[in-house]
Amino acid sequence: MKKEKCIICRKPLNDGIIINGRGICVNCEGRIIKAKANTDFYEYYKNCIRKTLVQCLPRGVTKDCQNYHL
């Protein structure tokens, strides 16, 4: 089974939450909950999500296309 990693601190995800298939460890989850919408950390967190989604999306599409054409 693939070990999930926290998308924010990149540590192995032993404990935490999964949002849209992305893992977030308890430490970062706690920071997000405490963070208000305009803090630097919240901006950083949003950038992490966006970056992760952008990285994953083309890969998934390519894989699906290859399977489709085979």
Binding positions for Zn ion, rule: CB under 5 A: 6, 8-9, 25, 28
Structure tokens that stand for 42 in this block = 């919240």
Please list the residues that pair with 6 across neighbouring strands. Answer: 23
* Distance separating alpha carbons of residues 21 and 34, to the nearest angstrom: 22
Q: How far is the CB of 11 from Zn ion (least distance, A)?
A: 6
Q: How far is the CB of 39 from Zn ion (least distance, A)?
A: 16
* Distance separating alpha carbons of residues 21 and 61, to the nearest angstrom: 16
26 or 53, CB closer to Zn ion?
A: 26
Q: Phi, psi at residue 60, to the nearest 5°?
A: -65, -40
30 or 63, CB closer to Zn ion?
A: 30
22 or 28, CB closer to Zn ion?
A: 28
